[in-house]
Amino acid sequence: MPSPAAELYSDIVFGKPALVISVLLLLVAFFAWHAQDFRLDASADSLLLENDPDLEFSREVNNRYGLGDSVIVAYTPDGDLFDRETLKAY
């Protein structure tokens, strides 16, 4: 025996499909309209607390050396970095 809530849900969903589809379309339209105002801040600064010492150090380094838009590439060779075999391989 289904609960009264399950019966009510079943009656609404299966008894009035046009109403359910209309409500769902209105919800999708509402969220789609407001999605244009969504802004995602994926910067590293947004992941740290405002008074975090690491954030303050990072800002100090960026101000001193201007590294705001840089990329750091790390390379780990299989052997010694300046070994003849390593240099020949790459």
Give, in order, the Cα–Cα distances in Å from 66 to each of 1, 61, 69. 70, 7, 8
Task: Let me know the angle formed at the C-alpha of 68 by 62 and 72, rounded to the nearest 5 degrees.
Answer: 100
Q: Is the pLDDT of residue 5 over 90?
A: yes
User: Can you tell me the mean pLDDT for 58-83?
Assistant: 77
| Average pLDDT in the chain | 84
Q: Is the pLDDT of residue 2 over 70?
A: yes
Summarised one tens digit per residue, pLDDT across range 12-56 is 999 999 999 999 999 999 999 999 999 888 776 677 777 888 778
Residues of the chain with pLDDT > 70: what percent? 89
**Residue 55 CB: number of other CB atoms within 10 A?**
15
Q: Is the pLDDT of residue 63 over 80?
A: yes
Q: Which residue ranges make up each domain of the chain?
A: 1-38, 42-90
Residue keyed to tokens 């954030």: 55
